[in-house]
Every structure is written in structure tokens, then in C-alpha cells.
Amino acid sequence: MSPQQPTHYEILSLPAPAPSSSSSDSALTPEALKKAYRKALLHHHPDKSPSPQTKTFFSIDQITTAFTVLSNPASRSKYDQELHRQATTTGNGRVLQTVDLDDMQYDEGKEVWWRGCRCGEERGFVVTVGDLEDGKGGMKREGGKWW
């Protein structure tokens, strides 16, 4: 699942679950999934589509994979967790920049690495020893948001 690829929910034109909701979302009953699956197959089939080709086209394989993953509660739960993880990594799932701690300033007293931000904040981005031990692997902006 890269940021450029559509989610299984988008492929089947289903609402994605909220990050805090469980995979047993009422909108994703087996009947609703089957209906969305059949509708997507007809909509994207070149011979069956009642409307001209839309701007987005999903292959039969993409539609089938989406249905297979979302129709199994265990695989859907795992998929939802991965979507949530990607969304919370940097807000949109992309790595903005890879940095080396050796390229940052280190404050031994506070056990933090820091570097300036283009906004002018001297310690705009901060990484603590605790962050590294927790395995967050991200950089916090002074305001607290992970980058």
C-alpha cells in the first residue's frame, strides 16, 4: 500500500473505517461487501459498464483482492491496522526526509538530538533517547507532531 495506490475501500467504493472503530463496522456487513464487489466488477468491466469509462479504472484483480481482504475479518483487521499505521506515520504515509543523527546537534544534558526548522525555530525538530527506545522512528516538531 503506497500513497499512490488506492485503498481496498476506495476500490470497492466503501467508507474507510475511523481509526478508532473496530473491523466489525456495521457498514461492512458481508452483504454490503458482496454488493460493493459486484457493483465494482460491473462498473469497471469494459463490456458491462453502463457509463463511459470513468477517470479511475480498477482491474478485476484489484477488485477481487480488495473483496478477499475485506471479507475476511482477520485480514481486514490487519489491513485496517496497516492503513492506520501509514496514516499516522507522517500524516499521509510518506517519508518526507531521512536524516542521520550525526547530522543533528546533540544536547547531552537533555539527551536529545535537534535541528533547526525553516520556520526559524532553533530546535524545531527534536529526537529524544526515549523516542529511539520506543522505536517511533520519527522526528517530533517542537509543537509535538511527529514527522
- List, for residues 17-63, the tens digit of each pLDDT value: 876 555 445 568 999 999 999 999 988 877 766 665 556 788 899 99
- Domains contained in the chain, number: 2
Which range of residues forms the domain containing residue 49? 8-90
Q: Are residues 30 and 65 in the same domain?
A: yes
* Domain harbouring 14, CATH code: 1.10.287
Does the pLDDT at position 1 exceed 60?
A: no
- What is the SS3 assignment for the chain? CCCCCCCHHHHCCCCCCCCCCCCCCHHHCHHHHHHHHHHHHHHHCCCCCCCCCCCCCCCHHHHHHHHHHHHCHHHHHHHHHHHHHHHHHHCCCCCCCCCCHHHCEEECCCCEEEECCCCCCCCCEEEEHHHHHHCCCCCEECCCCEC
Q: Are residues 126 and 64 in the same domain?
A: no
